[in-house]
Amino acid sequence: MNKLCYYIVTLVIALSIGCNINRDHLSVSTMDSPSKLIFKADYPKEKTGKLEKYLDSVLHTNLPLNENLDLLINLDGADKFNLKASSGHLEIALNKAGSSDKNYLKVKRLTESICNLLTKN
């Protein structure tokens, strides 16, 4: 009986430690090719609110990033980029062929600002 209690307590402790290992994990990548710009970020879920407020202020929208989003965001009329998001994950994709240089620079600056925001404590 004592061995069984010992194994159960050890299992519970191991599971609780294992569930929190990637809690502060941050992974950010940008792929900038001649045809497209793709930005991906996996970040701690606790930063979703801060990122949501930032995107709302910059894009003048109300995006619930804790839901599964797959949207086409319109910038300055005809220029668009794709935004996919869920709590702890963000992906921005821009097709350069269908966008102006001005829009490309806006989206590039946006991704750089997001990266800076996520890397701050």
pLDDT 10s digit of each residue in the chain, 121 long?
666 655 565 655 655 555 455 556 889 999 999 999 999 999 999 998 899 899 888 888 888 887 888 888 887 777 789 999 998 999 999 998 878 888 899 899 999 999 999 988 6
Question: Could you tell me the residue ranges of all domains in the chain?
Answer: 25-119
| Answer CATH for 25-119 from 3.30.1360, 2.40.50, 2.70.70, 3.10.180 | 3.30.1360
* pTM of the predicted protein model: 0.76
Q: Render 19-66 in DSSP notation, one character per residue.
A: HHTTTT--EEEEEE-SSEEEEEEE--GGGHHHHHHHHHHHHTS---TT
